[in-house]
């Protein structure tokens, strides 16, 4: 199976040479650990005097690799973002190879379907929150009612069955601040997250012991 690529430019022209550089670099990177991937998306955008590269690579069920970087040009930004992904892959080299070789993705019945929401921020404006301001004259059923937050985006998401170590690995590979999962030890919902001090936090409502 050939990995599918999508390279998008925002306020910047993405030429054929850059696209080929991105596709070749990501193919080599993914093949080193997985043989092949499913899809990759690179977004190159201009921010003031810098160029930003955001990379997202899906190599299997539940395994999403993400990285971002800014640079003086598109090549420097992309290479920096790709290096962030490479460092995370090297960190989890053995686990990733075991995962790919043994086919350790959770079975479909072990994935719970869920919904992920993006909420509008609430910034006070002259004593009234931004949410209250936006609600004036707007259908509350659609945008929130009373103390309910305003939903600006909604998407489907899967809640996987994982060990705590697997959850931490997936959170790190995807460069996410937090990850909800079902703990394979007891099936309960757990959360791992990155603390302000750089350490990893773990919330397990069903576990009575210590982490």
Q: CA dist 75 to 30, 39, 45, 81, 101, Å? A: 19, 20, 12, 10, 33
Q: Is residue 60 part of a domain?
A: yes
- Has residue 109 been placed in a domain? no
Q: State the CATH number of the domain containing residue 41.
A: 3.30.160.100
Residue 112 lies in a domain: no
**Nearest one of 25, 3, 199, 176 to 88, comparing CA atoms:** 176
Is the pLDDT at 205 greater than 80? The verdict is yes
Task: Judge whether 168 lies within some domain.
Answer: yes
Beta pairing class for 128-129 and 4-10: unpaired
Higher per-residue confidence, 97 vs 42: 42
Same domain, 88 and 168: no
Residue 113 falls inside a structural domain: no
Task: Write the CATH number for 194.
Answer: 3.30.505.50
Q: Which domain holds residue 139?
A: 119-154
Rounded to whole angstroms, the maximal C-alpha distance in the chain is 58
Q: Are 150 and 164 within one domain?
A: no
When pLDDT is cut at 50, 70 and 90, the band that residue 1 belongs to is low
Q: Is residue 93 part of a domain?
A: yes
Q: Is residue 16 located within the same domain as residue 91?
A: yes
pTM listed for this prediction:
0.71
Looking at the structure, tell me whether residues 13 and 94 fall in a common domain.
yes
Domain presence at residue 108: no
72 and 29 in a common domain: yes
Q: Is pLDDT at 186 greater than 80 in this prediction?
A: yes
Mean pLDDT on 85-105: 76
In total, how many domains does the chain have?
Answer: 3
The reply to whether 188 and 167 lie within a common domain is yes
Domain assignment present for residue 190? The answer is yes
Q: How confident is the model at residue 141 (pLDDT cuts 50, 70, 90)?
A: very low
| Angstrom distance (rounded) from CA 203 to CA 190 | 6
Q: How far apart are CA 9 and CA 200, in angstroms?
A: 34
Tell whether 9 and 86 lie within a shared domain.
yes
Q: How far apart are CA 139 and CA 170, in angstroms?
A: 39
pLDDT digits (tens, 9 = 90+) for 7-48: 999 999 999 999 999 999 999 999 988 888 899 999 999 988
Specify the pLDDT at position 95.
Answer: 81
Same domain, 98 and 167: no
Task: Over range 53-80, report the average pLDDT.
Answer: 93
Same-domain check for residues 173 and 126: no
The side-by-side arrangement of strands in the sheet containing 200-203 is: 161-162, 178-183, 189-194, 200-203
């Amino acid at each position: 199976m050939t990995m599918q690529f999508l390279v998008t430019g925002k306020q910047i022209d993405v030429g054929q040479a850059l696209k080929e550089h991105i596709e070749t670099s990501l193919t080599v990177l993914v093949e080193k650990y997985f043989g092949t991937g499913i899809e990759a998306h690179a977004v190159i955008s201009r921010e003031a005097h810098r160029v930003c590269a955001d990379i997202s690579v899906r190599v299997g069920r539940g395994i999403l690799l993400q990285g971002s970087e800014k640079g003086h040009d598109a090549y420097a930004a992309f290479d920096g973002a790709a290096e962030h992904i490479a460092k995370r892959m090297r960190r989890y080299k053995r686990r990733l190879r075991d995962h790919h070789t043994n086919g350790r993705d959770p079975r479909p019945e072990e994935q719970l379907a869920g919904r992920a929401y993006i909420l509008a921020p609430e910034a006070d404006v002259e004593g009234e929150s931004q949410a209250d301001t936006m609600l004036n004259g707007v259908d509350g059923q659609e945008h929130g009612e009373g103390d309910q937050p305003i939903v600006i985006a909604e998407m489907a998401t899967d809640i996987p069955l994982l060990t705590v170590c697997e959850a931490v690995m997936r959170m790190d590979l995807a460069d996410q601040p937090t990850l909800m999962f079902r703990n394979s030890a007891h099936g309960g919902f757990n959360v791992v997250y990155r603390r302000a001090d750089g350490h990893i936090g773990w919330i397990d409502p069903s576990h009575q012991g210590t982490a």
